[in-house]
């Protein structure tokens, strides 16, 4: 009679009869609030998106608010009524935000308390220079971009973004190995990852904004003038050399045209919102991370109402 190990029998039986126990978790219900997405810029019509907040476990689609009374009031008392468009978006017909002016947002909605908050549109800071070179980082040659700016007095908050613009096209190859372009389409753009060890690029807590030199994100880099308040400075940022090469041995179906440098002056409210949102996304999948509260400046609601102005310069791709 064959011998069978008792330990083996135990493992087999346990695998058949073991089960999972469901443990209910009580998540406190909360009343929905008005949620506001209201970032305004100097060259865009007023556009405010209004919705209702959702419960943590609610997987339904956003509940857009289409019956609100949305109004913008300037410091001079000028009132701008916004009209409903679609997907919770309320827009002005002709009015634009003005630089250095502070605005108050008021939202009245049946069943919810009055929403009221204010923010200013800061003056954009000009880029005084752009110089390019190369730098070696851990054995890799990167493109160094030196950007000059003259920071005014007081606290200032910035965002810098690099965007690559390229042409993508369809082509065939003839018998002699020549490429023949059949069709092309302009307008493709992508936000670039950045690298830096620049001490001046620090956040309001004095911490380095980069981890191990690289910053990966689709919202650009946020920083303050903590280390260069009221003086001229040069920011050193590195990009991959690949963005500046049209080497067809790697990819022959597109051509890089231009690198755009966008330097934004952002209000303190927008800076705090962006930084808290970045921290939230960096910890959302980590069960051991401290919970992150996303910043909101909406009284009686959640979301952000904040200003952003910008200047754009460019670097040609050879």
Does one domain contain both 156 and 179? Answer: yes
Confidence (pLDDT) at 275? 87
Confidence (pLDDT) at 286? 76
3-state DSSP percent of the chain in helix, strand and coil, to 5: 10, 45, 45
Does one domain contain both 219 and 279? Answer: yes
Does one domain contain both 172 and 235? Answer: yes
Contact 131, 153 (CB under 8 A): no
**Residue 258 belongs to some domain of the structure:** yes
Name, in order, each residue with C-beta under 8 angstroms of 295's C-beta and a sequence gap of 6 or more. 269, 272, 273, 275, 276, 277, 304
Predicted confidence pLDDT, tens digits, the chain (318 residues): 444 444 443 343 434 344 555 555 444 556 889 999 999 999 999 999 999 987 555 556 778 999 999 999 999 999 999 999 999 999 999 999 999 999 999 999 999 999 999 999 999 999 999 999 999 988 889 999 999 999 998 899 999 999 988 776 666 666 776 766 555 565 667 888 888 888 777 666 666 655 557 776 677 888 999 889 999 999 999 999 888 877 655 455 677 788 999 999 999 999 999 988 888 777 777 777 787 888 999 999 999 999 999 999 999 887
Rounded Cα gap, residues 99 and 16, in angstroms? 70
Does one domain contain both 100 and 140? Answer: no
Does one domain contain both 94 and 164? Answer: no
DSSP 8-state class, residue 231: S
**Residue 216 belongs to some domain of the structure:** yes
Residue 97, judged by CB atoms within 10 A of its CB (0-12, 13-18, 19+), counts as: buried
Count of domains forming the chain:
2
**Residue 3 belongs to some domain of the structure:** no
- CA torsion angle for 182, 186, 192, 198 (degrees, to 10)? 120
Domain termination residue (choose one: 120, 140, 163): 120
Confidence (pLDDT) at 212? 52
Domain termination residue (choose one: 120, 136, 162): 120
Does one domain contain both 74 and 213? Answer: no
Does one domain contain both 46 and 141? Answer: no
**H-helix segments, the chain:** 6-17, 268-283
Domain with residue 39: its CATH number is: 2.60.40
Confidence (pLDDT) at 78? 93
Six-digit token string for 50 = 């209004």
Does one domain contain both 146 and 265? Answer: yes
Rounded Cα gap, residues 48 and 37, in angstroms? 6
Does one domain contain both 174 and 272? Answer: yes
Does one domain contain both 224 and 281? Answer: yes
Does one domain contain both 233 and 288? Answer: yes
Does one domain contain both 178 and 285? Answer: yes
Contact 88, 68 (CB under 8 A): no
Rounded Cα gap, residues 164 and 277, in angstroms? 24
Q: How far is CA 226 from CA 153, 244, 283, in A?
A: 11, 32, 26
Residues spanned by the domain of 96: 34-120
| E-only strand ranges, 192-281 | 194-195, 214-215, 221-224, 232-240, 254-266
Name, in order, each residue with C-beta under 8 angstroms of 307's C-beta and a sequence gap of 6 or more. 39, 40, 41, 97, 103, 119, 120, 121, 122, 266, 267, 270
Contact 37, 49 (CB under 8 A): yes
Domain termination residue (choose one: 102, 120, 138): 120
Rounded Cα gap, residues 152 and 100, in angstroms? 14
């Amino acid at each position: 009679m064959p011998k069978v190990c008792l330990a083996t029998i135990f493992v087999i039986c346990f695998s058949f009869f073991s089960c999972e126990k469901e443990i209910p978790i009580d998540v406190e219900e909360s009343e929905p609030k008005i949620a506001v997405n209201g970032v305004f810029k100097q060259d865009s019509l007023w556009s405010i998106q209004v919705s209702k907040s959702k419960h943590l476990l609610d997987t339904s689609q956003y509940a857009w608010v289409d019956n609100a009374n949305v109004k913008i009031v300037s410091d001079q008392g000028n009132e701008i009524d916004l009209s409903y468009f679609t997907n919770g978006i309320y827009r002005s017909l002709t009015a634009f935000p003005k630089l250095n002016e502070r605005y108050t947002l008021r939202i009245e909605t049946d069943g919810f308390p009055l929403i009221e908050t204010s923010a200013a549109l800061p003056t954009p800071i000009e880029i005084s220079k752009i110089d390019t070179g190369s730098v070696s980082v851990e054995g890799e040659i990167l493109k160094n971009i030196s950007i000059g700016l003259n920071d005014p007095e007081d606290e200032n908050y910035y965002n810098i973004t690099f965007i690559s613009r390229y042409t993508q096209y369809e082509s065939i190859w003839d018998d002699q190995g020549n490429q023949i372009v059949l069709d092309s389409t302009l307008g493709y753009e992508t936000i670039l990852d950045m690298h830096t060890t620049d001490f001046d690029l620090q956040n309001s807590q004095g911490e380095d904004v980069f981890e191990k030199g690289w910053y990966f994100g689709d919202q650009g880099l946020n920083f303050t003038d903590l280390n260069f308040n009221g003086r001229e400075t040069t920011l050193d940022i590195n990009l991959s050399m690949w963005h500046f090469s049209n080497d067809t041995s790697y990819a022959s179906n597109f051509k890089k045209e231009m690198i755009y440098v966008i330097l934004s002056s952002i209000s303190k409210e927008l800076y705090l919102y962006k930084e808290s949102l970045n921290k939230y996304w960096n910890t959302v999948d980590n069960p051991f991370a401290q919970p992150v509260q996303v910043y909101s400046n909406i009284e009686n609601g959640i979301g952000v109402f904040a200003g952003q102005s910008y200047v754009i310069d460019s670097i040609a791709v050879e």
